[in-house]
Amino acid sequence: MTDIAEATEIPAGYSFDIDFQLFQSRITFTSPTQLIFAILTGSQAGLSQTVDYQSIPLRPGLFAVSWQEPNHTTVVHLEDFAEGRVHANLTQPDGTFLRLSGTILS
């Protein structure tokens, strides 16, 4: 498998953890159209959901990944594997908008 920091697509089966400081999560790309996100620590630890997603390569190792959760939370990640960072924008069902930056742990 190509090193993800140089990849132009995210391979099915690829998984990584993110430390957002408020919580840690794990993203697992199960197919070209579905991923599982799991909250590992924090107030929602134990939450895990499978969602449909879209990934747009912006440059090798940098992807815009977006999905909508069953509760209508919308999520957009800029996943920068070359820099080891994820920048996330989330709109919760009540309209609350969150901006988070985290470190890729694995």
How would DSSP label each residue in the chain? ---GGG-SSPPTT-EEEEE-SS-EEEEEE-SSSEEEEEE-SSTTTT-EEEEEEEEEEEETTEEEEEEE-TT--EEEEEEETTTTEEEEEEE-TTS-EEEEEEEE--
Across all residues in the chain, what is the average pLDDT? Answer: 95
**Average pLDDT for residues 37-47, to the nearest whole number?**
95
Per-domain boundaries in the chain: 14-104
**Does the domain spanning 14-104 belong to CATH 2.40.128.20?**
yes
Predicted structure pTM score: 0.93
Whether residue 2 has pLDDT greater than 70: no
- Mean pLDDT, residues 39-57 taken together: 96
